[in-house]
Amino acid sequence: MTLDEAIRTRRSVRGFLPSEVPEPLLNEMFELAQWTPSNCNIQPWVPHVVSGPALRALAAEMGAAAEADLPFDPDWPADGKYQGVYRDRQYDAAARLYGAMGVERRDLVGRRTAYIRNLRCFDAPHAVFVFMRQPFDAREMTDVGMYAQTLMLVMTSRGIASCAQGALGLYTGIVRRHLCLPDDHRLMFGISFGYEDTSVAANNARTVRASIDDAVRFHR
Ligand SMILES: Cc1cc2nc3c(=O)[nH]c(=O)nc-3n(C[C@H](O)[C@H](O)[C@H](O)COP(=O)(O)O)c2cc1C
């Protein structure tokens, strides 16, 4: 697969087969992602890959917390700042996803079920929780974001599906406890990954992008 093909075919997959990714392939993908650039080459990402019984226990507790409406404890609270065109894009992506799933806008039960599936890592056999240690903040988060995209493109090129999930950073206390991590390990998101289950309706969703006429300003 060429880089162009990987960029254009990567998409968020929200339903996975139970089969695990073989360990040599796991190692190969995470070794390749290490080549992500970063500020002063500090490589601030701290990925914790969780699989098998460890992930089942973690996902079950996060799912139960969501079902019980336990309060979130994110390291970076979301504050509803999407307005204007950003809100339009958010709505469009949600409409496409729920449309593919056959969940109507007023179907609050269907939406809640979809949200809880997030916390259960969409039944993926693996999830990587990408931490960054204090006192790093916005500058180093750009490095972590680049790491995530590099990793997801590497996965795509090897037939491994993924979904970056801010939802996996909603219950940081649970995640840190399961992984025995201190509070200085801060979590923005996780990535569920594995082999796509093509029978899951959510996986038929496709998003769009603004054209470069809208997005890019060329100066000379
Ligand atoms: C940092 C980040 C966090 C995300 N959080 C979630 C999430 O919590 N749940 C979810 O279903 N999708 C999540 N997504 C997936 C986005 O909705 C998706 O990338 C976007 O709609 C574009 O669609 P595509 O990935 O299929 O191209 C997240 C993506 C990123 C990059």
Q: pLDDT tens digits for 122-155?
A: 999 999 999 999 999 999 999 999 999 999 999 9
Is residue 218, in this structure, part of any structural domain at all?
no
**Which residue, judged by its Cα, is nearest atom 18 of ligand 1?**
12
Q: Which atom of ligand 1 is nearest to the CA of 14?
A: 11
How many helices (H) and strands (E) in the chain?
8, 4
Q: Is residue 177 part of a domain?
A: yes
- Whole-number pLDDT of residue 77: 87
Q: What is the pLDDT of residue 94?
A: 96
Residue 203: name the closest of 9, 2, 6, 14 by CA: 14
Does the pLDDT at position 6 exceed 80?
A: yes
pLDDT at 210: 98
Q: What is the structure's pLDDT at 34?
A: 98
Ligand 1, pocket-test mutation among 8, 9, 10, 12, most atoms within 8 A of CB? 12
pLDDT of residue 143: 98
Q: Whose CA is nearest to atom 6 of ligand 1?
A: 165
Is position 187 within any domain?
A: yes
The CB-based long-range contact list for 73-77 (8 Å cut-off, 24+ gap) reads 73/170, 73/171, 73/172, 73/173, 74/169, 74/170, 74/172, 75/169, 75/172, 75/186, 75/187, 75/188, 76/169, 76/186, 76/188
- Establish if 220 belongs to a structural domain: no
Residue 29 belongs to a domain: yes
Cis peptide before 135 (omega within 30 of 0): yes
CA angle centred on 92, ends 163 and 128, rounded to 5°: 10
Q: What is the mean pLDDT of residues 110-116?
A: 95
Domain range holding 131? 3-79+118-206
Q: Residue 159 maps to which CATH number? A: 3.40.109.10
pLDDT of residue 128: 99
Residue 99 pLDDT level (bands cut at 50, 70, 90): very high
Within-domain flag for 73: yes
What does the pLDDT look like over 156-184, one tens digit per residue? 999 999 999 999 999 999 999 999 999 99
Question: Each residue of 25-42: pLDDT tens digit?
Answer: 999 999 999 999 999 999
pLDDT of residue 102: 95
Structure tokens at 215: 């997005």
Separation of CA 95 and ligand 1 centre (Å):
13
pLDDT given for residue 89 in this prediction: 97
Ligand 1 atom 19: residue of nearest CA: 12
Structural domain count, the chain: 1
Give the chain's end-to-end CA distance (angstroms, integer).
Answer: 34
Token code pair at residue 189: 């998101």
Q: Are 208 and 92 in contact (CB under 8 A)?
A: yes
pLDDT digits (tens, 9 = 90+) for 48-83: 999 999 999 999 999 999 999 999 999 998 878 899
Inside any domain, residue 14:
yes
Q: Has residue 45 got a pLDDT over 90? A: yes
Ligand 1 contacts CB of residue 63 (under 6 A) = no
Instruction: Report DSSP state, residue 16.
Output: B
Q: Token digits for 4?
A: 């162009």
Report yes or no on 87 lying in a domain. no
The pLDDT, as a whole number, for residue 131 is 98
Euclidean distance between CA atoms 27 and 217, whole angstroms: 39
Burial of 6 (0-12, 13-18, 19+ CB in 10 A): middle
